[in-house]
A and B are shown apart, each in its own frame.
Chain A
Amino acid sequence: MTKTVEYKPENLALFERIRARYPEKRSALLPALHLLQDQEGHISREGVEYVAALVGVTPAQAHDAASFYTMFRFTPSGRRRIEICTNLSCALRGADDLYAGVCNKLGLEGDGISSAGDHAVSSAECLAACGGAPALQVNGAWVENVQKGEIEDVLAGRLSRRPLKWPRSPGEPILLRNVFKKDSTSLATYRAGGGYARLRDHLTTPPGEIVEAVKLSNLRGRGGAGFPTGVKWGFLPAGDPRPRYLCVNADEGEPGTFKDRLLIERDPHQLIEGIVASSHAIRARACYVYLRGEFHEACHVLENALDEARGANLVGPNVLGTGVDVEIHLHRGAGSYECGEETALIESLEGKRGQPRLKPPFPAAKGLYDCPTIVNNVETICCVPLILDRGAGWFASYGTERNAGPKLYCVSGHVNRPGVYEAPMGSITLRDLVFGEGYGGGIPGGRRLRAVIPGGSSTPMLTAGEIDVAMDFESLSRAGSALGSAGAIVIDDSTCMVWVAQRLTRFYRRESCGKCTPCREGTAWMLRLLDRIESGKGAPSDLDTLSELCETISGSALCPFGDAAVIPVASTLARFRAEYEYHVREKRCWKEVANTYEDAAGGAGR
């Protein structure tokens, strides 16, 4: 007889509360699965059926959605789950050795469960811990900057939580003004810094005026595309009777990016105030914060802050007696980069696989539950109270023309001081970020700079000679790249660029949602070719096939993921083609014979 699966009474009660957050119960699918997995350790077939019935879908629908997300386990797992980031930023700082070391100690060949059954190891994609690389999570808790000698401590449970130490920025902190304070997450601290002081005024300002102010401020979205926020808000259809929704994009999954995590983990009230003001501005009564599933800590912090804010009537019905109702709900993802794309995020929030919708219609016209919806990044929303408190003019003049406001820059990889730094938008160059004293502080170990990915893995690389470019939307796009999510990844001259392309393509191949043909099949094919080339088994025609695939995928995919997925290959092929040719010609990676590519190429006598 199979064991029947059901929630324990306290979890059933919790489920009922979660379920009430959504107008459609299917939206409770992901939270319901998380809850069951936390209770049972994994989700069995009976578990899928149980949850399906609770949220009113068929088992096939529940499984269709659940199996999309990497965090759900359908077979029993180890008691202690160790997830090691092996994406580029961590790999540049020794993650592969760390991963191999952990597997070795547990007698594993790769991802799996130790024979004693107490440990489960998996190689994860970017966890937004690039500043604390190499990083891992033990049962969801951060353990960052892990040294090889600490593996024993992790396995023995002596080292089970150690978040990174965030470095301070040289200039005046605006967005980060609270994060280094003691008790920075508490309402009292936020209030002491002037937070919420003018919220009542903002909520009694007509929404149209706030939208106007945001337009005037020149705030551009911080999620990657840089779309003017006020203009986006203005797309909401006027006089439409449907409810409106605000979705805050806290899915931060772009390799090299870990700024939103800092904002949430260290200053949740700034985000909450931004949400309340923005919801009022767009006349949304409900906001969903879509937090990436791996953000256990951020989720916990934000939940507590929300409780405090609700208690102080800063969130909920009739905020501060202004008649404005704003409810804020947290919604956890479950392991999928694509869910950061706004329409995939909406699908995921509706309890489906995180696959994008065709646009148009855009979310502003038809989004969550087919209602007008605004999706904004965490940092974007955090800028809104600044605009309202200090004035749109102040914001617009802070930074450079067309690139207004304070900006968070992430830097990781081969730098002395990886971290998130704040500066007025465009006021620093990429060189400053990498080499500046108060910023990245240069390349460690006397190495030379080879390349920088300026704005997250989806932005084209720049070579050492191209880094005298201001860190803003216009300047970077003129330089042939993009600001993206402002996640700079620094690569020194000990690094094989084919390997870089391979590592990032592995990410896109794993994260492709699989909906459209070019991206689904093309990323997998590209990775096969890169595996072949990097291991010295490539043929000259493989390089042509790679170029063709780049062209096919970026020209025809359904969503921008496809364009992004070819960038590591396309931009390394454009700038480091000789290195690919070396692999094919010499049938090996140059790292087998030299410390730098220049040495290898010279040494090969060609």
Chain B
Amino acid sequence: MKCMIDGREIEVEPGTSIILAAQRLGIRIPHFCWHPDLSVDGNCRMCVVEIEGSSKPQTACSTMVTDGMVVHTDSPQVRKARRATLELLLVNHPIDCPVCDQAGECYLQDQYMEHGLHDARISLDEKVRKRKVVDLGPIVLDAERCVLCSRCIRFEREVTGTNQLGFVGRGDHTEIAAFDNRPISHNYAGNLADVCPVGALLSRDFRFRMRVWFLESTPSVCPGCSTGCNIFIDHRDGEIHRLRPRRNVSVNRSWMCDLGRALYKGAGAPSRLLGARLRSEDDRGMIPVGEALDLLSSRLRDAGEDVAFLASPQATNEDLFAFQSLCDAVSGMLDFRVDDPQDRMAVLEDGVLLRADRNPNTRGCLELGLGRTGVDAIMSACRAGRVKALLLQGPELLRTPAAGIFLEKVPFVAVMAENDEPALARAHLVLPAAAWTENEGTFVNFARRVQRIERAIEPPGESRPRWRLASDLLARLSRPLDATTAWDVFRLASRSTAAFSGLEHVSIGESGLDLDAIKES
């Protein structure tokens, strides 16, 4: 089906709305209530367009493209209608942008600036008064700013099924409300602030933190579980201010969960490890990372084949590949399945996005063949005193209750970690690792989708990406890895790993690739 929008032709499948067809041409039709991942409600009447042959403007969200249709999205008739609707939306709006946290990402503000609607024909004392600053737990509600678009209600009905928000009253006295002002109790509250096109629902966490126009955004993937929601990391001057979902219809549509959203806090926490730490007889001492790597490499060399490696499903494929290469260099034992995350990998916990496996890259571990020796076999070897050195890519093992018993007879345990925690005391050497926000590379989600993360900020202190720690060790073992960036490591991995064969980080793109689909094509 072909149609013409603003003089440009586009072909779409039957049942495509004008707003979507226009979007594909990069034409954004102003709107409030329409959302690509929610049902069409048609209530705001903002997205009107002119269709040749039709006397009145039509809403682009609810009108389907027909063959030969000619559409104008910015004609004088359209601009007039849009301006009139906008003015009506402002009738009861407080226009308090200077003190509103939505400023900078508010559809209403954008439009009202564009149409220059400053000469309000309705005075403030004529406006309907509604409730302001209502505490709903993770969300702060201001009913006066609400444009009654019902996006939040549709989100809770269609995505979470929680239905905690609803309207009260009718006509121009309609107000958005949570029953009895009860706090929003589901794990997706942050999305309510995202879907709200104005400043009526704001995130308590982000409120008053930062004007959004100062922020820089880096595309990434949430490391909170095996779903791998696509996100943006919003940061400024080396500090992360928030995470927000990045739309990907194949993974998370426009959403992410609150557990994931909170994960940026770890990267800037006071518990970050800024240098290496060696446990000696009486005290714990900080040592330069170079020295720590020297020590560790000599331990690995001395141990001969009596070494074991436990990879971490928190790590990127590049981290994993470098780690595996290290293990192969000394012919050690290798696995990653502490607590068997692979058994939970595909289990959807809440029917929405969150999966029971809280690792972003369990699937990557499987693709790279890191489940080799068996964790039980490695643990028995440890208990039998047959392991002289154990290198952990993350603290997973140290956190298990039985760790102490297993590690009793291992003379040297080294661990890579981002944050300090009591469990690390069980290791002799701690290496400071870069957090996921400071690393680049790839994860494979539960459904075999390989996705890229990008570096938003620099690693603090002497911390560095895990793949870098591994390649520094390999260099010391005279088996240097032919890589200076994570993408070089990916190239190496793609040569030896069937799943990644022929892939490059560019071809993965910002929305990732389905490995099953590649195999078929």
Contacts and interface: CB of A to CB of B under 8 A. Distances in A.
B163 A57 contact: yes
A551 B62 CA distance: 21
A521 B44 CA distance: 11
B382 to A, nearest CB: 52
A556 interface: yes
A506 to B, nearest CB: 11
B164 A58 contact: yes
B164 A558 contact: no
A404 B166 CA distance: 46
A524 B170 CA distance: 12
Contacts of A511: 171
Interface residues of A, number: 39
A351 to B, nearest CB: 13
Contacts of A358: 40-42, 62
B274 interface: no
Given A516-B42, A516-B45, A353 B179 contact: no
Contact of A545 (B121, B126, B162): B121
B49 to A, nearest CB: 12
B163 A552 contact: no
A378 B296 CA distance: 89
B445 to A, nearest CB: 32
Interface string A505-540: 000011111111110111111001000000000000
Contacts of B148: 514-515, 517, 520
A415 to B, nearest CB: 32
B281 interface: no
A517 B45 contact: yes
A538 to B, nearest CB: 13
B302 to A, nearest CB: 64
Contacts of B153: 64
Contacts of B171: 509-514, 520, 523-524
A525 B179 CA distance: 29
A557 B169 CA distance: 19
A555 B88 contact: no
B151 to A, nearest CB: 13
Contacts of B41: 358
B7 to A, nearest CB: 24
Given A45-B180, A58-B163, A515-B43, A63 B57 contact: no
B189 to A, nearest CB: 14
Given A514-B172, A521-B172, A63 B56 contact: no
A516 to B, nearest CB: 5
A558 B43 contact: yes
Nearest to B122: A525
A514 B88 contact: no
Contact of B168 (A64, A509, A517, A557): A64
A51 to B, nearest CB: 12
Contact of A552 (B81, B122, B126, B167): B81
B interface, by DSSP: helix, strand, loop or mixed?
loop
Contact of B44 (A509, A512, A516): A516
A580 B1 CA distance: 51
B174 A514 contact: yes
Interface in B168-190: 168-174, 177-180
Nearest to B83: A552
Contacts of A514: 148, 167, 169-174
A522 B88 contact: yes
A270 to B, nearest CB: 34
A524 B165 CA distance: 25
A525 B91 contact: yes
B166 A63 contact: yes
B92 interface: yes
B210 interface: no
Nearest to B175: A67
A68 interface: yes
Interface in A336-355: 336, 353
B48 interface: yes
Interface string B28-68: 00000000000011111110100000001100001000000
B218 interface: no
Contact of B56 (A45, A64, A556): A556
B508 interface: no
Contacts of A67: 167-170
A353 B170 contact: yes
A552 B164 contact: no
B111 interface: no
Given A60-B178, A63-B166, A558-B43, A521 B81 contact: no
A67 B57 CA distance: 33
B85 interface: yes
Interface string A551-563: 1100111100000
A552 B170 contact: no
A101 interface: no
Residue among A58, A353, A512 with most chain B CB within 10 A = A58
B44 A556 contact: no
Contacts of B122: 525, 528
Contacts of A510: 171
Contacts of B121: 545
A160 interface: no
Nearest to A554: B56
Contact of A521 (B56, B62, B91): B91
A511 B173 CA distance: 11
B81 A520 contact: no
Nearest to B56: A555
A510 B174 CA distance: 11
B89 interface: yes
Contact of B167 (A64, A525, A556, A557): A64
Contacts of A353: 167, 170
A556 B81 contact: yes
B149 to A, nearest CB: 9
A556 B45 CA distance: 7
Contacts of A381: none
Interface in B70-95: 81, 84-85, 88-89, 91-92
Given A358-B62, A521-B89, A552-B88, A61 B166 contact: yes
A571 B40 CA distance: 34
B85 A513 contact: no
A48 interface: yes
B168 A63 contact: yes
A336 B162 CA distance: 27
Contacts of B167: 64, 67-68, 353, 514
Contacts of B163: 57-58, 60-61
Contacts of A551: 84
Interface in A487-520: 509-518, 520
A512 B43 CA distance: 13
Among B41, B43, B88, B153, chain A packs the most CB atoms within 10 A around the CB of: B88
A491 B48 CA distance: 38
A555 B168 contact: no
A60 B166 contact: yes
A525 B62 CA distance: 27
A67 B179 CA distance: 12
Contact of A60 (B48, B88, B92, B164): B164
Given A64-B167, A555-B56, A556-B57, 19 more contacts: A60-B164, A60-B178, A63-B166, A64-B153, A336-B170, A358-B41, A514-B148, A514-B170, A517-B43, A517-B45, A517-B89, A520-B171, A521-B88, A523-B171, A524-B171, A525-B91, A555-B57, A556-B56, A556-B81
24 contacts: A58-B163, A60-B178, A63-B168, A67-B168, A67-B169, A513-B170, A514-B169, A516-B43, A517-B43, A517-B44, A517-B45, A517-B148, A518-B45, A518-B88, A520-B171, A521-B88, A521-B91, A521-B92, A522-B88, A523-B172, A525-B122, A528-B122, A556-B48, A556-B85
Top 5 A-B residue pairs of the complex, sorted by shortest distance between their CB atoms: A64-B166, A60-B179, A521-B88, A514-B174, A60-B166
Interface of B: 40-46, 48, 56-57, 62, 81, 84-85, 88-89, 91-92, 121-122, 126, 128, 147-148, 153, 162-174, 177-180
